[in-house]
Amino acid sequence: MPDVLAYAEVRDGTAGKAAREVTGLARSMADALGGEAHVIAVGGTGTADAVAGLSGLGAARILVAEAPGLEPDSPDVAAATVAARVSAGGYAAVLFPASARGKDLAPRVAARLDRGLATEIVAWELSDGALAVRRPMFAGKAIATLRFEDAPALMTVRANVFTPESRDGAGRVERIEPVGEPRIRVTAVEQSERDRLDVSEATIIVSGGRGMQDPANWHLLEDLVAALGDEATLGASRAVVDAGWRPHGEQVGQTGKTVSPDLYFAVGISGAIQHLAGMRTAKVIVAINRDADAPIFSVADYGVVGDLFEIVPRLAEAIREARREE
Amino acid sequence: MNTIVCIKRVPDSATRIRIAAGGRHIDPSGVKYVVNPYDEFALEEAIRRREAAGGGTVTAISVGPPEAAEALRTALATGADEAVLLVSEATHDGRAVARALADEIGGREFDLLLFGKQAIDDDNMQVPQMVAEFLGLPCATVVVALDIEDGHAVARREVEGGHEVVEFDLPGVVSAQKGLNEPRYPSLKGIMAAKKKPLDEKPVTLAEPALELVSLEEPPAPSQGRIVGEGPDAVPELVSALREEARVL
């Protein structure tokens, strides 16, 4: 049973980055195990159309439980349907994205199957035929290596870590029946900040801290985000969230979100331990701070010391210029 | 309104984590332990429910080593009525903890079972949902607002870029996110009163972990960075470094 199953999350009618990343990882794992990558999606009308393209990332089977009443779908039906499939399918591993949806759903499936679950994995390997994964603990202050004692190995996969490759998996949509009764009902979805990505999804994050001095100054960071494009979003330190300057959804750190973007700008953030824990796995870190001794510079790849109110507008301008030249 | 709140004792978020010899545990020396910050929102919510209903009990439950009694004392001082410590060895395994909690809670009568959305040590973020499944109860996670009327709950959950509203009938399980309320601190009177409140210690044997913890390591040291320059004049060099060296622009 060397096959690997990926839960394809469909949001706003599309199988986005979360679905693509777990599909790509399922294919890599299945290749190492000598099996196939399968995807499973559970949702309302249009779910099958949304996930059909995942065959292009190596999915050999695309299992879709689609019913009109499942939009917006209850996690209970998704959990029961995925668990039923895993029980029947004999999978070596089952992958979920570490999105809001995946983090809510995966433990429900694990409990129904009475299996363990490794959350937010950032690396994996096969050793003596067993799957081992690496995951941060203490918000990244420590990295644990965990070995699954037996199959299926259930895990959620941190965003922005595994890049899917184009592969022809030749998978076609196969209909399966949704099972289970909803215990909770989703009655509304309020998208408050749709103009920007969530910090857990963005590949570029511009975070502001106390050095911004006043919430009214955030237009500087908003402008830098705009210059960086659609893949960029705003983040915040705990200090400015606690002060009520920014919403909690933007908080990066141990009591906020742990992020791994390609590029992280820390603007006016001194770098408390709990903040560093949340962003130190960013691939490239830029710190802009007046205080040359600020701890943030110890984790930064590039630092600029000085007045952020002068530096940030100049930076936004320079990035726009560079983009125009391309 | 009877509520049960699950509490975990964790290292304070300002603590520097060092790995102990053997590479499978953290070094506890010099570590300051606190009630898991998200559990404070859960506890506060339970106390407010009791106050609003004008009656009922708040029971705090923890799984952990004998020292975890300290976190339960804090919960009692803050306003819980009684506490139960399921005394066990420390574990990284969420399923084993969830099973022990479900075994204890399954025999109790309650309206609402509250958790913090995750513990900031293991960051497993799985125990609330697992306990709910083991008990066959509805479960809303990462909740920032909760309304309860006539045994029916409406909860707002934080999701990417917005919120989701979910509804369910009690009894049910809720995991608390920052923003649900503003937790109170224990008063001196509360601390004195807590000494007389019941704290029951029961030894439990946890299930074998489903996942073996092979090793625990400190993260790789950050790559040696450099100060590009001072002030706005450093911007051109920063941009060219990001484009040509780091290739992230």
Residue B62's CATH number: 3.40.50.620
Residue A33: pLDDT above 70? yes
Please answer yes or no on whether B219 and A286 come within 8 Å at the CB atom.
Answer: no
**What residue numbers bound the domain in which A13 lies?**
4-175
Which of B95, B123, B227 is closest, CB to CB, to A305? B227
Percent of chain B residues past pLDDT 90, beyond the cut: 90
The answer to whether residues A117 and A233 belong to one domain is no
Task: Please judge whether B120 and A248 are an interchain contact, meaning their C-beta atoms are less than 8 angstroms apart.
Answer: no
- What is the per-residue pLDDT for A264? 98
More confident residue, B173 or A230: B173
Domain hosting B68: range is: 3-203
A214, A146: one domain: no
- Residue B98 pLDDT more than 80? yes
Q: Are residues A209 and A165 in the same domain?
A: no
For A304, which of B14, B154, B238 is closest by C-beta distance? Answer: B238
Is A273 in contact with B15 (Cβ distance < 8 A)? yes
pLDDT at A1: 66
* Confidence band, pLDDT 50/70/90 cuts, at residue A192: low
A185 assigned to some structural domain: no
Are residue A234 and residue A142 in the same domain, yes or no? Answer: no
* Residue A186 in domain: no
> In a 3-state reduction of DSSP, which class is residue A178?
coil
> What is the pLDDT at residue B225?
87
What is the residue-averaged pLDDT of chain B? 95
Is the Cβ pair A186, B165 closer than 8 Å?
A: yes
Instruction: Name the pTM for this structure.
Output: 0.90
Interface test with A, best of B113, B121, B126 (most A CBs within 10 A): B126
Taking residues A239-267, what's their average pLDDT? 93
Measured in whole angstroms, how far is the alpha carbon of residue A158 from the centre of its chain?
5
Taking an 8 Å cut-off on Cβ atoms, the answer to whether A183 and B139 are in contact is yes
Is B160–A198 a contact, with Cβ atoms under 8 angstroms apart? Answer: yes
| Residue B165 near chain A (CB below 8 Å) | yes
Would you call A161 an interface residue with chain B, using a CB distance cutoff of 8 Å? no
Looking up residue A22, the CATH number of its domain turns out to be 3.40.50.620
Percent of chain B with pLDDT over 70: 100
A124 and A273 within one domain: no
Instruction: Determine the residue of chain A that is closest to B15 in CA distance.
Output: A273
Residue A216 belongs to some domain of the structure:
yes
Is residue A115 included in any domain, yes or no? yes
> Are A147 and A132 within 8 A, CB to CB?
yes
**A171 and A217 fall within a common domain:** no
Question: Residue A193's pLDDT is what?
Answer: 53
| Count of domains for chain A | 2
Could you tell me if the ipTM is greater than 0.85?
Answer: yes
**Which value, in Å, is the radius of gyration of the alpha carbons in chain B?**
21
Within a domain: A84: yes
Alpha-carbon distance of A309 to A296, in angstroms, equals 18
pLDDT at A129: 82
The answer to whether A179 faces chain B, any CB pair under 8 Å, is no
Asked whether residue B20 is domain-assigned, the answer is yes
In a domain, B185, yes or no: yes
Structure tokens at B115: 């958790």
How many structural domains does chain B have?
1
Identify whether A288 is part of a domain.
yes
Residues A153 and A300 in one domain: no
Those residues with Cβ within 8 angstroms of residue A205's Cβ, 6 or more apart along the chain or in another chain? A199, A232, A233, A234, A235, A252, A259, A261, A263, A264, A265, A279, A282
Q: Do A138 and B120 touch (CB under 8 A)?
A: yes
B196: pLDDT strictly greater than 90: yes
- Check whether residue A141 and residue A37 sit in a common domain: yes
- What is the 3-state composition of chain B as percent helix, strand, coil, each rounded to the nearest 5? 30, 30, 40
**Are residues A248 and A167 part of one domain?**
no
Contact flag A137-B122 (C-beta cutoff 8 Å): yes
Does residue A237 lie within any of the structural domains?
yes
Q: Which residues of A touch B207 (CB under 8 A)?
A: none
Residues A255, A149: one domain?
A: no
A102 and A229 together in one domain = no
| Spatial distance between the Cα atoms of B100 and B146, rounded to a whole number of angstroms | 27
Question: Residue A289: which CATH number?
Answer: 3.40.50.1220
Nearest CA in chain B to A76: B138
Domain identity same for A37 and A142: yes
Nearest residue, CB atoms, B235 vs list A116, A184, A314: A314
